[in-house]
Amino acid sequence: MIDLHAHSTASDGVLSPTELIQLAVAEGLQAIALTDHDTVDGLDEAQAAAEASGIVFVPGIELEIDWQPGVFHLLGLGLKGWTGPLRSRLVRVREYRTERNLRMVDRMQKAGIAIDYGELIEIAGHRTVGRPHFAHALLRKGVVASSQEAFDRFIGNGQPFYESKRALSVGKACATVHAAGGKAVIAHPNTLGLGWDEFSRTLFRWKHEGLDGIEAYHPNVSLPDAHRFASLAEELGLIVTGGSDYHGIGRTDRRLGRSSGGQPIDARFLDPFMEAA
């Protein structure tokens, strides 16, 4: 059993990189990837912890891609270095986020809500400021009665305080992952907002833009759909991976090393990352 998709406190996970590795060892995993959202900050710590315990560590990242019909997250897996072009690209990505956040603050201020960016930074602690922190601020001010209400009425996609942010194109993101020595894999393909036919056609295009694989196995993808994604990948000569997308949150549908239908993730998905360098 392995896991090729997990988060730590470097993004929105609950466990520190070291704690995540320790849990993976305790669960008997042979290998684990750390794939935090738009950051490589946890990789050095996780790698050191993995070396100390003997588990195979797959350095990774989960990048947000500019994609309209749905959510497109791209995993960069098996990174061999994360200090060069990848890091400078991530600086740009953070700038896109800050720009977007400031536009959202502006909308709120214009609507008469007393909010400033410093307050959001404080709520976020050392972490990246995101919409969950805006929700927290609206809750704290009594504008909404719950965080979900904040999303439903104000900051969810298409709501009055929502602003979209710039994101990487598939081609740029794949090239950045390749430059860091990794493979570019579509995460949770069910969130793309594409039907099967459209998905197959679009995959051809993405393959030519540098896509290497599909995370067919994910807790939010049913087992029959996962098999279908896997067949499609194989037909196109793409690699197949599986991950739990573990965040350490108290969700019974997410367990390290388990994906579609709660099935353990097959260690053969590690093979493409173990080939001689």
| Chain residues that interact with ligand AMP, rule: CB under 6 A | 130-132, 148, 151, 156
Give the one residue of 4, 5, 12, 196 binding Zn ion; rule: CB under 5 A.
12
191: DSSP letter: G
Nearer to Zn ion, 12 or 163 (CB): 12
H or E element at residue 63? strand 56-65
| Residue 156 interacts with, from ligand AMP, Fe ion, Zn ion, none (CB under 5-8 Å by kind) | ligand AMP
Residue, CB closest to Zn ion:
12
Report the residue closest to ligand AMP, judged by CB: 130
State whether the Cα torsion 122-91-21-229 is positive or negative: positive
In the chain, at which residue ranges do the beta strands (DSSP E only) sit? 2-3, 31-34, 56-65, 72-77, 183-186, 213-217, 239-242
How far apart (Å, rounded) are the C-alpha atoms in residues 265 and 115? 45
How many CB atoms are closer than 10 A to CB 198?
12
**Binding-site partner at residue 245 among ligand AMP, Fe ion, Zn ion, none, CB < 5 to 8 Å by type:** Fe ion
Least spacing, CB of residue 246 vs Fe ion, in Å: 8
Supply the minimum distance, in Å, between the C-beta of residue 245 and Zn ion: 7
Min CB(162)–ligand AMP separation in Å: 9
Q: Is 73 in the site for Fe ion (CB under 5 A)?
A: yes
Q: Read off φ and ψ for residue 47, nearest 5 degrees.
A: -65, -40
In the three-class reduction of DSSP (H, G, I as helix; E, B as strand; rest coil), residue 193 is classed as: coil
Site residues (vs Zn ion, CB under 5 A):
12
